[in-house]
């Protein structure tokens, strides 16, 4: 496995880290707040959704937890924003009651009561003159789980570094950026992207209808996004309050209840960016989604833009941080776990890049801070260059990615720094 020259790496990280320190980041999804939602057995938590899945995920439940942010003194600002939105969407239409915020909560999605699949923050709001108007709105800017931030950071920084840099036009809504999310959970990845990038059209594929129901009913994901098998909106006319909350965003979200393999094999769409985060009720990444011989992974290449297409995959890391090296029983797990992640990485690299590592594009992984997760990135449009010896110049690649991460931070107005997720254990995918 390739390691960057220590002196070059230290210099580059110090140079780019200085830029982070100069910027004030106010992130409601900072890991600092994880204690508010991490413990599912807290006396302050309540079950707000619970249903048995017929798609292999066991019992699907959503728990609510109190949130300390934003402070109550800022609620009036949001209420004024809702009033302004109503006036913009329904000009000249008077209404008697004001919008009111009733509070904020964390909502965590669980499979079988122990596997935590997703965490989001929701706001509850209502109109004073309509008792039945209470709606919960997922806070798109708040990404609570570090691996989600890692996937988004790596994906946007990488595609911005490719041969076809269109992200500026997409951010300003001048060009369409087609995105596919395989695996839905609470919907934080597609909602963040659609909210932050006006040119993004995001397709989401989720095999479990119960997960879709949980995200819409209990996690504040826009209901207007849900699609029927025929390709139409399940709710053709969104609720007026939903229009106030989501107009301009929910039209660009399309949530399909489908098996990922079936969707990829039958689709004719070509995507600029694909995110894959698909774990089942046993917390296992299905073999058919990474088997080198599977129809899915070969068809995936046909759905990816040939010039700059980028795929980001969430993987569980090889080594659990709690492994005790003094226990032989723990150490025996490491080779098997290592081979699993390595095989997944090579499968995606070889399937999506021409002639594997010797063709166009590149593949790399980064570790996720605080969690045992790895983000795998495969990009068709990012060149590697060569150093004086003719070997791939990975230091140049990392420099480019870090520079683009800073640009993405500014262009997208990120609530967190992309850079810290790009520079964490950057490792090219090489043959074992």
What single string gives the DSSP state of each residue in 306-319? TTT-EEEEEEE-SS
Question: Residue 223 falls within a domain, yes or no?
Answer: no
Does residue 353 sit in the same domain as residue 405? yes
Question: Residue 248 falls within a domain, yes or no?
Answer: no
Does residue 42 sit in the same domain as residue 24? no
DSSP 185: T
Mention every residue, 6+ apart, whose C-beta is less than 8 A from residue 15.
none
pLDDT of residue 382: 83
Contact criterion met (CB below 8 Å) for 35 and 424: no
Question: Residue 357 falls within a domain, yes or no?
Answer: yes
pLDDT of residue 114: 81
HSE value, Cβ hemisphere, 13 Å, CA-based, for 153: 32
Q: Among 85, 119, 115, 93, which Cα is nearest to 105's?
A: 119
Inter-helix orientation angle 333-352/295-302, to 10°: 40
Does residue 119 sit in the same domain as residue 54? yes
User: What is the four-CA torsion angle of 36, 39, 42, 46, rounded to 10 degrees?
Assistant: 80
Question: Residue 246 falls within a domain, yes or no?
Answer: no
Last residue of a domain, one of 138, 156, 178: 138
d(CA 48, CA 107): 9
- pTM of the entire structure? 0.89
Structure tokens, 318:
């090889």
Last residue of a domain, one of 84, 103, 138: 138
Determine the average pLDDT of the residues in 135-149. 97
Name the band, by pLDDT with cuts 50, 70 and 90, for residue 166.
confident
Q: Which CATH number covers residue 299?
A: 3.40.50
Does residue 123 sit in the same domain as residue 19? no
Q: How many domains does the chain have?
A: 2
Q: Among 61, 52, 70, 56, which Cα is nearest to 121's?
A: 70
pLDDT of residue 348: 96
Name the band, by pLDDT with cuts 50, 70 and 90, for residue 355.
low
Question: Residue 94 falls within a domain, yes or no?
Answer: yes
Does residue 410 sit in the same domain as residue 384? yes
List, in sequence order, every residue forming a beta bridge with 255; answer none if it has no partner.
204, 226
Question: Residue 227 falls within a domain, yes or no?
Answer: no
Does residue 54 sit in the same domain as residue 88? yes
Determine the average pLDDT of the residues in 301-321. 84
CB burial of residue 91 (10 Å; 0-12, 13-18, 19+): exposed
Instruction: Give the tens place of pLDDT for each residue, 383-412.
Output: 777 666 667 789 999 999 999 999 999 999
Which residue range(s) make up the domain with 88? 31-138
Last residue of a domain, one of 105, 138, 171: 138
Does residue 273 sit in the same domain as residue 408? yes
Question: Residue 247 falls within a domain, yes or no?
Answer: no
Does residue 303 sit in the same domain as residue 382? yes
List, in sequence order, every residue forming a beta bridge with 64; answer none if it has no partner.
46, 107
Does residue 358 sit in the same domain as residue 373? yes
Contact criterion met (CB below 8 Å) for 164 and 381: yes
Structure tokens, 234:
């399940």
Instruction: Give the tens place of pLDDT for each residue, 334-350.
Output: 333 356 788 999 999 99
Q: Among 298, 309, 336, which Cα is nearest to 320's?
A: 336
Percent of the chain with pLDDT over 90: 69
Does residue 92 sit in the same domain as residue 21? no
Instruction: Give the tens place of pLDDT for each residue, 199-240.
Output: 999 999 999 999 999 999 999 999 999 999 999 999 999 988
pLDDT of residue 283: 83
Does residue 177 sit in the same domain as residue 201? yes
Does residue 150 sit in the same domain as residue 162? yes
Question: Residue 1 falls within a domain, yes or no?
Answer: no
pLDDT of residue 42: 63
């Amino acid at each position: 496995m390739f390691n960057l020259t220590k002196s070059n790496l230290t210099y580059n990280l110090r140079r780019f880290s200085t830029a982070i320190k100069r910027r004030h980041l106010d992130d409601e999804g900072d890991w600092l707040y994880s204690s508010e939602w991490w413990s599912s057995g807290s006396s302050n938590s309540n079950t707000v959704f619970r249903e048995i899945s017929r798609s292999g995920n066991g019992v699907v439940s959503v728990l609510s937890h109190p949130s300390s942010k934003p402070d109550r003194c800022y609620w009036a600002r949001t209420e004024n924003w809702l009033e302004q939105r109503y006036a913009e969407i329904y000009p000249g239409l008077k209404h008697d009651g004001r919008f009111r915020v009733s509070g904020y909560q964390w909502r965590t999605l669980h499979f079988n009561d122990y596997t935590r699949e997703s965490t989001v923050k929701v706001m509850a709001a209502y109109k004073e003159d309509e008792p039945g108007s209470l709606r919960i709105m997922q806070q798109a800017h708040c990404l609570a789980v570090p691996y989600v931030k890692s996937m988004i950071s790596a994906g946007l920084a990488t595609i911005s570094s490719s041969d076809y840099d269109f992200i500026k036009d997409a951010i300003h809504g001048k060009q369409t950026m087609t995105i596919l999310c395989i695996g839905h959970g609470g919907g934080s990845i597609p909602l963040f992207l659609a909210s932050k990038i006006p040119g993004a059209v995001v397709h989401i594929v989720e095999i479990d209808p119960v997960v879709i129901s949980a995200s819409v009913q209990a996690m504040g994901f826009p209901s207007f996004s849900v699609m029927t098998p025929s390709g139409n909106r399940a709710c053709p006319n969104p609720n007026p309050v939903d229009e106030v909350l989501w107009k301009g965003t929910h039209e660009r979200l399309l949530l399909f209840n489908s098996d990922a393999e079936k969707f990829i094999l039958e689709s004719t769409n070509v995507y600029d960016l694909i995110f894959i985060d698909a774990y089942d009720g046993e917390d296992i990444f299905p073999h058919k989604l990474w088997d080198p011989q599977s129809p899915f992974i070969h068809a995936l290449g046909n759905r990816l833009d040939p010039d700059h297409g980028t795929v980001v995959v969430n993987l569980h890391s090889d080594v659990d941080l709690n492994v005790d090296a003094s226990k032989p029983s723990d150490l025996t797990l490491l080779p098997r776990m290592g081979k699993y992640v390595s095989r997944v990485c090579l499968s995606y690299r070889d399937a999506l890049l021409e002639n594997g590592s010797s063709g166009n594009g590149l593949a790399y992984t980064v570790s996720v801070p605080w969690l045992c997760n790895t983000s795998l990135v495969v990009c068709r449009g990012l060149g590697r260059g060569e150093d004086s010896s003719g070997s791939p110049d990975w230091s140049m690649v990392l420099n480019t990615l870090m520079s683009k991460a800073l640009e993405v931070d500014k262009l997208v107005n990120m609530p967190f720094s992309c850079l810290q997720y790009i520079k964490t254990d950057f490792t090219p995918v090489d043959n074992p």
